[in-house]
Chain A
């Protein structure tokens, strides 16, 4: 069995980690094990190591032969495999399919919870308000309440104007 990092030398260090119902195996040669700090008896970097390896495998599997490339920064899957980091913020969209599974194994959830920049919160609020107004407008038109519809239309216009003033996501 060859080392799964350098893919050159015989693997002599075999690690298995069971997290939840998922089993991950890593086979390393002595040299790679040393550079990754695996024979450090405290084993601190094990989790990082497994995460890193898992990352490249995951991306590889979902590639399906065609190599994805980020339109914004020309970063490719092969680059990710090498670096373990992405090229630019846009890469998250480019590689979203491949990253989905990876993020699931790494994190508690797959959706952001927590702080949101103010500008986003404002535009999110305005978007929500816009949707609500449009719904109301639909109902007013349906009920042939044109007076109400006119008021709503004005409000929608105002909201849209404010939305175009705030920085958008």
Chain B
């Protein structure tokens, strides 16, 4: 099956709900695993990578979770297919660069995604909308337990699961959440927050993970250390820190709306103005402005507008998704024109932001219980 037909349509994908999804866009837990007696993918020659792929892929496909899954070798996907998967956060950029000897198995619901021969032989990830770290951990733990009966993992009692990079050794776990933090950015409180999160041994990254910038005020928070701390403890630590970040974000939104409402309305109004009227717009500018519109929806400046409208545009306006909607190959300039056309069209149904939000803040605060 073609990946385009397989993937959940953006409109539907943007409508998925989860706890605290005002701020937490998604939760993810990934495990790194390797099989014994084989070199890691980055060092293995092609025949060995193919052998490992042929060993692992049927095992993954046989998981009950993978019924009706999409399973493909990376060399049978086009560059555009791979880029779409990156834009959906289903595979890493590193994996998108892979070809023969690497593979992908993705379940029907897009909640379990296994990359074969990325940096490690196996990178399996469970994904959930909103804040659901524990659910994601349970899901990936279950898949892992089923796989360990079919594959012989490289494991040492002292060092745990052995991984290509020493930074992942031990549990091989990365627990992460994607957060939308426009309030903290506008209140200029984001840097101290990032620093204190770093001090707790957690990493803060941009939209596409390692080494990427925080487009659209979206940040990924994840654990960095994997050896010497059990999975459950890591999940719990992340949960605590995320609860605090959510609270800080809500407070920041409240404070700026109270102290500098004009500044907030100005940002949101201008964002709407540009998005609704531009005739050429880059993907970066679009994301940054959509982020402000999303904030506008959250604080009630666009009554009757669903956040899903903005979230769908977040997906649709990215380069590969835009290219996919057109048969001819587009240049970056052409994409900018077509992107602006699409956004203008979609925003026809959205009236300009009201000058004052309907009291109190629509939806109320989204604070986690302590």
Interface residues of A (CB under 8 A from B): 37, 40, 42, 44-45, 47-48, 51, 55, 72-73, 75, 79, 83-89, 92, 99, 102-103, 106-120, 124, 167, 169
Further pairs besides A44-B206, A110-B227, A111-B227: 7, Cβ < 8 Å: A42-B191, A48-B210, A75-B43, A85-B40, A85-B164, A116-B155, A124-B157
B213 at the interface (CB under 8 A from A): yes
Give B residues with C-beta under 8 Å from A: 34, 36, 38-40, 42-43, 119, 141, 144-145, 148-149, 152-162, 164-167, 169-171, 173, 191, 194, 198, 201, 203-206, 210-214, 224-232
Flag if A40 contacts B228 (CB, 8 Å).
Answer: no
SS of A interface (majority): loop
Q: Is the CB of A103 within 8 A of B231?
A: no
- How far does the Cβ of B197 sit from chain A's closest Cβ, in whole Å? 11
Specify the chain B residue showing the minimal Cβ separation from A37.
B211
Distance between B171 CB and nearest chain A CB, rounded to angstroms: 4
Q: Which partner residue on chain A sits nearest B119 by CB separation?
A: A85
Does more than half of chain B's interface fall in helix, strand or loop, or is it mixed? loop
8 Å CB contact of A109 from B152, B155, B203, B227: B227
When chains A and B are docked, how far (Å) is the Cα of A120 from the Cα of B153?
10
Closest CB-CB distance, A35 to chain B, in whole Å?
10
Contact of A87 among B39, B159, B166 (CB under 8 A): B39
Would you call A112 and B171 a contact (CB within 8 A)? Answer: yes
Inside 8 A of B198's CB, which chain A residues have their CB?
A: 47
Contact of A108 among B160, B166, B225 (CB under 8 A): B225
CB neighbours of A103 from chain B (8 A): 159, 166, 169, 227
Q: Does A73 contact B43, Cβ atoms closer than 8 Å?
A: yes
Provide the bound-state CA to CA distance between A119 and B36, in Å.
Answer: 14
How far, in angstroms, from A117 to B162 measured CA to CA in the complex?
Answer: 12
Chain B residue nearest to A55 in the complex (CB): B166
**Which residue of chain A lies nearest to B120 when distances are taken between CB atoms in the complex?**
A85
Known: A85-B119, A89-B162, A112-B170. A107 touches B226 (CB 8 A): yes
A112 touches B36 (CB 8 A): no
| Residues A44 and B228 in contact in the complex (CB < 8 Å), given A87-B40, A167-B152 | no
Which chain B residues border A51 with CB–CB below 8 Å?
167
Q: How far is the CA of A87 from the CA of B48 in the complex (A)?
A: 13
In the complex the two chains form, is A115's CB within 8 Å of B231's CB?
A: yes
Q: Which residues of B contact A75 (CB under 8 A)?
A: 39, 43
| Across-interface contacts of A119 in B (CB, < 8 A) | 148, 152
Please name all residues of chain A whose beta carbon is closer than 8 Å to the beta carbon of B229 when the two chains form the complex. Answer: 108-109, 113-114
Contacts of A99 in B (CB 8 A): 166
Please pick, from A79, A102, A124, the residue contacting B166 in the complex, using a CB distance under 8 A. A102
Q: What would 18 A/B residue contacts be, using CB atoms closer than 8 Å? A: A42-B213, A44-B204, A44-B213, A48-B203, A84-B165, A85-B42, A85-B43, A86-B40, A88-B38, A89-B36, A92-B169, A108-B229, A111-B228, A112-B157, A112-B161, A112-B171, A114-B229, A117-B148
List the B residue with the shortest CB-CB distance to A93.
Answer: B156
